[in-house]
Structure 1
Amino acid sequence: MTDFSALHQPGRPLVLVNAWDAASARIVAAAGAAAIATTSAGVAWSLGAPDGDALGREAAVAAARRVVAAVSVPVSVDVEAGYGDPAATLRAVAAAGVAGVNLEDGARTIAEQQARLSAAKEAAPGVFLNARIDTLLFGLGDVTEAITRAKAYLDAGADGIFVPGTTDPAVVAELVASIPGPVNVLTGPGAPSIGELAALGVARISLGSSVAQAAYGLVERAAREVFEAGTYTGLAGAADYGRLNALSE
């Protein structure tokens, strides 16, 4: 299998269309993905839980195991804040065969998150540890704070840095120039193109929960149309039944 770490190349970014179950992972892989990443929100929603560490380790690991079994490319899973014990969670998902994880800091202090990252890396040294920094996403600080955290997290054993919350070219360029490791950004509608972000030196690009949101948005629109108008136009462009069935064989 491809070395997942080697896919993180500044200027030639790993592009991740985040999946949430076996079927979505297979669809993304069949489209030509070099790797699969899960969206914690999409996984949680598909299992009837809200995003935000509410799913629990057992269910999250089971979901990871299903995705790993469904595809032949490396899989990175979002373990949110680690479900209470990041080290235990990392050991479990490593045993499930994942190649990487995202682990978020939230409002924790730098020292707290360093300890968590260090323990997680020690528990699963072969798993690519992508440290998510929530500073910009949740308005917990500025770019300087995000960069300070990034350097501290790399020192603690992180392999990459994920800074959601901005796709502003000037900010992304500053992050790339200041962080001595692969930088991952969260993108979606209205953001710079893959080519533009690559030119800024980004090493990894994620779509996060946006694909799952789009899929569930289709469900919502189709249901409303059927119940309110009695028509089915919202189902146009649906994936082919036979192709979906073939992907599951």
Structure 2
Amino acid sequence: MSTTADRASELLRLHRDPALLKVVNVWDPISTSAVAGAQGTVALATASHSIAATLGYEDGEQIPVDEMLDMIRRILAVTDLPVSADLEGGYGDAPETIRRAIELGVVGANIEDQLKPLDEAASQVEAIMRAAKDAGVPDFVLNARTDAFPVGGDRDRDVVIADALARGRAYLDAGAPIVFVPGPLTSDEVRTLVDAFGKQRLTTIALPGTPSFDELQELGVARVSFGPISQRVALTALQELAETALAHGELPGFRELN
């Protein structure tokens, strides 16, 4: 069985490959097994919003860190694939939360900057990468997230993009291998971000109206993920099954999971 450091190196390699890494987010062991069993899946990422919802919490670090990490532990127990964990803003101590996650076998993570002052946010990135190295995982794939859109998206669009650019460059300089800019990006904005960060350094989220996967790959994006969308799709299918069964006394067509 590969070590945590080996899986981290593999996850980093997948991000550096010119082929776009498509990562479907999971939230519990059964969703992990389903996605891991899909042809073409080479890595997994958790979704903090989805895990919180599963356990009855609102999004936004309302879930206790111990409960978040326990669900991640359960997820890791059912797969040998590299797993990146969405750890929100780090639950008050991002380097320590990363250290605990690495002990479980996590090899990458999203950490939100929550639009903290830039020097503070960059120092946090540096501390996270130092903690990962001290834990024996120098290739830990920190997906340094800027909340330029989620928190500051009500500003002028040019200001939002300029903020994302400044923050992303600072996080790369602080040692993060990739930068996550979740938001409704246009093709021109993706191109601007890739030009600033370098190819295979930007990660994005799949949203309606954003560039296609083929275009993202052509532009040099490292990875695209789905956040809570994958859980919403699953729950919509469940609701449709219930509605069909209750209204018509039959099940809609479905395929059994292997």
Q: Same fold (TM over 0.5)?
A: yes
1:43-192 to structure 2, matched below 5 A, reads 43-125=51-133, 126=137, 127-138=140-151, 139=153, 141-180=159-198, 182-192=201-211
Secondary structure at 2:19 match in 1 = coil
1:3-22 equivalences in 2 (<5 Å): 3-9=10-16, 11-22=18-29
CA distance in 2, matches of 1:58, 1:81: 14
Q: CA contact under 8 A between 2:26 and 2:32: conserved in structure 1?
A: yes
1:102–1:131 contact (8 Å) kept in structure 2: yes
CA distance in 1, matches of 2:161, 2:55: 35
How much has 1:137 moved relative to structure 2?
A: 3.0
> Does structure 1 residue 196 correspond to structure 2 residue 200?
no
CA root-mean-square deviation? 1.9
Gaps of 5+ in 2: none
Give the direction of change, closer, same or farther, for the CA distance of 1:232–1:14 in structure 2 (3 Å limit): farther
Counterpart Cα distance in 1 of 2:175 and 2:85: 18
Amino acid in structure 1 at the alignment position of 2:23:
L
2:18/2:220 contact within 8 Å kept: yes
2:239 paired with 1:220 = yes
Q: Secondary structure at the match of 1:8?
A: helix
Deviation, 1:13, is 1.5
Name the CA shift for 1:50/1:239 in 2 (closer, same or farther; >3 Å). Answer: farther
What is residue 247 of structure 1 aligned with on the other side? none
TM-score by length of 1: 0.89
**Matches of 1:163 and 1:67 in 2, distance apart?**
25
- Asked whether the 8 Å contact 2:90–2:111 carries over to 1, the reply is yes
Q: Deviations over 1:152-207 (max 9, x none)?
A: 11122212100010231111111111114611010044433211210111111111
Deviations 1:107-144 (A, max 9, x none): 21111211221222222222211101110233164211
Residue 247 (structure 2) aligns with: 230
- Quote the Cα distance in structure 1 between the aligned partners of 2:247 and 2:109: 44
Tell me which of 218, 229, 243 is aligned to 1:210. 229
Distance in 2 between residues matched to 1:232 and 1:147, nearest whole Å: 54
1:40 paired residue number: 48
Mapped contact 1:10–1:201 kept (Cα < 8 A): no
For residue 4 of structure 1, give the secondary structure of its aligned residue in structure 2. helix
> Which of 22, 25, 33 is equivalent to 2:32?
25
Partners of 1:11 and 1:200 within 8 A in 2: no
What's the CA shift string for 1:206-246, capped at 9, x where partnerless?
111101011122333444555xx53356x524341xx45xx
Structure 1 SS opposite 2:91 = coil
Q: How far apart, in 1, do the equivalents of 2:93 and 2:224 lie?
A: 27
**Identity of aligned pairs, percent?**
35
CA 1:223–1:110: 2 relative to 1, 3 Å: same
